[in-house]
């Protein structure tokens, strides 16, 4: 039986706007919209007061002004936000070293081992709220979800709004799930949501009625079981501590483009290109990873999403698929920079060989491609998606971040 864990999901309320209100008391209690420093077209965040007037993140300034003409527009200041995040995480870390920074305004804390030292989980939750006010700023507030896994902690937190707190025990799991929207759940992008929609599955009870083989045949061997578990509030994924993430080996590639990329296909090809390189690096190290991260940057637009998967991958196409899902919420105008990370790497030999014949065939194909590329040079063969583009090749210096590794590899494979 799964041992009972206790996980907190802490989420700062309306973070960017609240941070501005914290810094400038004149903004407090007023509808505030945060805009990019340049290209002031849409709101990247809104204050609690603006939300009450129906002004949402992503709205154009024009639309927002129709709702409330006197909305105060403030340019984003990421240095300020990162400073607050740093202080916020430092508070959270004192309750357990197993603290995962999920985004600038969210973290997961696994307090299973440390809970008793601090007088129980409720005490920890109230202390975090209090210390946020006393140590970061009196205007700061957060919502906290507490449960036995990450999925439920995060979902719970999303149900309580401003300054909320919720504890979900095992008995109330279905009741809570059925109050949540299926879309917007951790790791489920719009694409998957649409696919579910076409099958008539638009809420948790309907998803729970789907047998596992049905889900696998429609969504494949990864998303099928994932959805099956999701419907039941089952999530065994660990909270990744600060330290373990930093220690974990990773491969990746960042690239700054020579011009702004506006077209979806261009951006996707760039992502695919970098995914192929990161995955090829992992394969040459005879490793596979299950932590995928992607960063996109346009003007002032910092976009960073990541996911910890339950299975390991080393195929550029799989990596690309995950990255596409992670970028579904990206609303930038154009891309100037892209970074891909594959980490939490483990040795391929530790992993089971694929069961499905289609997966085996795919692995053999990739293996053959790697062999050709080793002899004829990187990207002698490449996915058709990259046809007709200027392929970005691995940088000669810092290949793998470790040249001796490549030399050793060439020797051992000769």
Residues 15-44 that bind Mg ion (CB under 5 A): 15
Q: By CB under 5 A, is residue 107 in contact with Mg ion?
A: no
Of the candidate spans 27-35, 100-108, 261-269, 315-323, the one that interacts with Mg ion by CB under 5 A turns out to be 100-108
Q: Which is nearer to Mg ion, 165 or 275 (CB)?
A: 165
Q: By CB under 5 A, is residue 105 in contact with Mg ion?
A: yes
Q: Using CA atoms in the order 369, 370, 372, 374, what is the torsion angle rounded to 10 degrees? A: 160
Of the candidate spans 11-19, 77-85, 218-226, 395-403, the one that interacts with Mg ion by CB under 5 A turns out to be 11-19
Element (H, E) at 81: helix 78-93
CA nearest neighbour of 226 among 318, 309, 316: 309
The pair of structure tokens assigned to 359 is 């997966």
CB of 128 to Mg ion, least distance (A): 14
CB of 50 to Mg ion, least distance (A): 14
What are the residues facing 297 on neighbouring strands? 302, 337
The pair of structure tokens assigned to 260 is 């702004």
Residues 167-226 that bind Mg ion (CB under 5 A): none
Size of the site for Mg ion (CB under 5 A): 3
Q: Measured in whole angstroms, how far is the alpha carbon of residue 330 from the centre of its chain?
A: 12
CA nearest neighbour of 27 among 57, 49, 53: 49
CB of 95 to Mg ion, least distance (A): 19
Q: Which is nearer to Mg ion, 15 or 312 (CB)?
A: 15
Supply angle C-alpha 78, 243, 329, rounded to 5.
40
Q: Is 377 exposed, middle or buried (0-12, 13-18, 19+ CB in 10 A)?
A: exposed
Cβ–Cβ under 8 Å, residues 36 and 19: no
Helices (H) and strands (E) in the chain, counts: 15, 13
Cα distance between residue 150 and residue 124, in whole Å: 17
Q: Which is nearer to Mg ion, 103 or 209 (CB)?
A: 103
Cβ–Cβ under 8 Å, residues 330 and 303: yes
Q: Which is nearer to Mg ion, 105 or 276 (CB)?
A: 105
CB of 107 to Mg ion, least distance (A): 11
CB of 84 to Mg ion, least distance (A): 12
CB of 332 to Mg ion, least distance (A): 19
CB of 243 to Mg ion, least distance (A): 25
CB of 305 to Mg ion, least distance (A): 14
CB of 51 to Mg ion, least distance (A): 12
Q: Candidates 5, 6, 9, 11: give the one binding Mg ion (CB under 5 A).
A: 11
Characterize the bridge pairing of strands 72-75 and 32-35: parallel
Cα distance between residue 128 and residue 133, in whole Å: 9
Q: Which is nearer to Mg ion, 142 or 344 (CB)?
A: 142
Q: At what angle do helices 264-284 and 357-376 cross, to 10 degrees?
A: 90
Q: How many CB atoms lie within 10 A of CB 292?
A: 27
CB of 247 to Mg ion, least distance (A): 28
Of the candidate spans 7-15, 60-68, 168-176, 240-248, the one that interacts with Mg ion by CB under 5 A turns out to be 7-15
**Strand, coil or helix: 377:** coil
Q: Which is nearer to Mg ion, 32 or 261 (CB)?
A: 32
Cα distance between residue 49 and residue 45, in whole Å: 12
Q: Which is nearer to Mg ion, 17 or 342 (CB)?
A: 17
Of the candidate spans 69-77, 105-113, 225-233, 311-319, the one that interacts with Mg ion by CB under 5 A turns out to be 105-113
Q: How many CB atoms lie within 10 A of CB 192?
A: 19
Q: By CB under 5 A, is residue 277 in contact with Mg ion?
A: no
CB of 104 to Mg ion, least distance (A): 9
Of the candidate spans 13-21, 109-117, 273-281, 404-412, the one that interacts with Mg ion by CB under 5 A turns out to be 13-21
Longest pairwise C-alpha distance within the chain: 70
Cα distance between residue 38 and residue 300, in whole Å: 7
Q: How many CB atoms lie within 10 A of CB 370?
A: 14
Give the interface with Mg ion as residue ranges (CB under 5 A).
11, 15, 105
């Amino acid at each position: 039986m799964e041992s009972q864990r206790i996980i907190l999901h802490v989420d700062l309320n309306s973070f960017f706007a609240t941070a501005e209100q914290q810094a400038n008391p004149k903004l407090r209690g007023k509808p505030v919209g945060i805009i990019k420093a340049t290209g002031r077209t849409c709101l990247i965040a809104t204050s609690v007061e603006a939300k009450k007037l129906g002004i949402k993140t992503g709205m154009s300034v024009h639309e927002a002004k129709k709702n409330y003409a006197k909305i105060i527009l403030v340019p984003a200041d990421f240095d300020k936000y990162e400073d607050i995040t740093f202080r916020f995480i430092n508070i959270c870390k004192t309750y357990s070293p197993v603290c995962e920074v999920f985004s600038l305004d969210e973290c997961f804390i696994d307090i299973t081992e440390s809970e008793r030292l601090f007088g129980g989980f409720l005490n920890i939750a109230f202390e975090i709220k209090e210390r946020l006010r006393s140590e970061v700023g009196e205007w700061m507030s957060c919502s906290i979800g507490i449960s036995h896994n990450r999925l439920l902690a995060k979902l719970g937190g999303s149900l309580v709004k401003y300054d909320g707190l919720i504890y979900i025990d095992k008995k109330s799991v279905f009741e809570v799930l059925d109050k949540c929207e299926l879309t917007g759940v951790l790791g489920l992008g719009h694409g998957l949501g649409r696919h579910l929609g076409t099958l008539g599955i638009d809420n948790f009870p309907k998803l729970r009625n789907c047998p596992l083989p049905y889900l696998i045949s429609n969504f494949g061997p990864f998303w099928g079981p994932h959805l099956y578990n999701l419907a039941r509030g089952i999530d065994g994924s660990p909270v990744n501590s600060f330290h373990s993430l930093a220690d974990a080996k990773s491969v990746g590639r960042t690239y700054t483009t020579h011009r702004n990329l506006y077209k979806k296909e261009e951006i996707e090809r760039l992502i695919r290109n970098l995914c192929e390189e990161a995955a090829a690096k992992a394969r040459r190290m005879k490793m596979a990873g299950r932590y995928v991260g992607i960063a996109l940057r346009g003007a002032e637009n910092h976009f960073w999403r990541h996911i910890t998967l339950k299975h390991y991958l080393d195929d550029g196409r799989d990596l690309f698929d995950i990255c596409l899902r992670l970028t579904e919420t990206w609303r930038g105008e154009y891309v100037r920079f892209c970074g891909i990370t594959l980490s939490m790497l483990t040795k391929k030999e530790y992993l089971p060989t694929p069961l499905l014949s289609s997966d085996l065939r795919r692995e053999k194909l990739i293996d053959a491609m790697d062999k050709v590329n080793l002899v004829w040079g990187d990207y002698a063969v490449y996915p058709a998606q990259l046809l007709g583009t200027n392929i970005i090749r691995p940088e000669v210096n810092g290949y793998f971040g470790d040249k001796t590794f490549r030399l050793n590899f060439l020797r051992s494979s000769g």
